[in-house]
Amino acid sequence: MAEKVLVTGAAGQLGRDMVLLLENKGHEVLACDRQEMDITDLDQCGTVIDDFKPAIVIHCAAHTAVDAAETDIDAAYAINAVGSRNVALAAEKAGAKLIYISTDYVFNGQSDRPYHEFDNTDPQSIYGKSKRAGEVMVQSLSTKYFIVRTSWVYGKYGNNFVKTMLKLGQEKPLLQVVHDQTGSPTYTADLAAFLLELMVTEKYGIYHASNTETCTWYEFTEAIFAEAKDILGLEFSAKLEPCTTEQFPRPAPRPRNSVMEHLSIRTNGLIDLRPWREGLRAFLVDLKE
């Protein structure tokens, strides 16, 4: 059945893939970026959502500049907390289901095992804290919500780690990549496909959704080079070297462990995402085309 779906952050990596997939499946989509709807404006959110009357709102818009957020605290909270409140209120008033995209940064990253959906959150960065504040807003104000936490996202649209490494690998003689942070890279097309499955259910709650299996940033880069050589025929001049987090100090603390257990996907009988390496290959094939 075709649904009316409103997507915020429609010009972002995930937003663009989401809009294309929804349209491809015959849904009626209102793609909203800042120009169409400023999520920090409560009245505007109310008007746009009330006029369109969506059955589902997929809230991808976010302040994702992790390091910049450490100093621009107001902007991070205005978008991630207040903006999410505004979207949640308007969606609730319209009787719409709400999907809020969140992050592994809501955890402290210190656990020695994967995080599941019901573990206590303990964000360490302003980005993580503001995204967690957004989760709380959604949980408090929406009766039909899905909170979907993901990690290490990359896609065809926008800038991301994979594209950066493809470029630097051909330009630099030496590349040092962090080898003590572990997570699961997530291809936006795979995440969008999961959201498409989830949105038509009433299996509300918190979900962890990333491509399955794990790697470090260094191992991810090794795979990017190997697969890009094979699929795109690229040659890389850069010598890869593992390094520690301490060798690359950043304003915002990075989680050592970003691995998330997909407990809710299993217990709700949903289809899990494919392994990250398969997702990477599919992305490179898409890029080639």
The per-residue pLDDT for range 105-126, each reduced to its tens digit, is 999 999 999 999 999 999 999 9
Q: Are the C-beta atoms of 259 and 114 separated by less than 8 Å?
A: yes
Cβ(199)–Cβ(18) below 8 Å: no
Active-site residues, by number, are 127
Q: Please state, in angstroms and rounded to a whole number, the distance separating the CA atoms of residues 240 and 218.
A: 8
Instruction: Find out whether 281 and 136 touch, Cβ atoms under 8 Å.
Output: no
Give the model's pLDDT for residue 158.
Answer: 87
What sections of 142-204 are H helices per DSSP?
A: 161-171, 188-199
Nearest to 258 by CA among 224, 219, 208: 208
CATH number attached to the domain at 4-160+186-211+260-273 = 3.40.50.720
Residue 153, SS3?
A: strand
> How high is the mean pLDDT of the chain?
97
Q: Which residue has the tokens 């470029």?
A: 167
pLDDT of residue 1: 86
Report whether 4 contacts 53 (CB < 8 A).
yes
Model pTM score: 0.97
- Average of per-residue pLDDT across 135-153: 98
How long is the chain?
289
pLDDT, residue 233, reads 96
Contact at 8 Å (CB) between 220 and 275? Answer: no
139 Rama sector, left if φ>0, alpha if ψ -120 to 50, beta otherwise: alpha
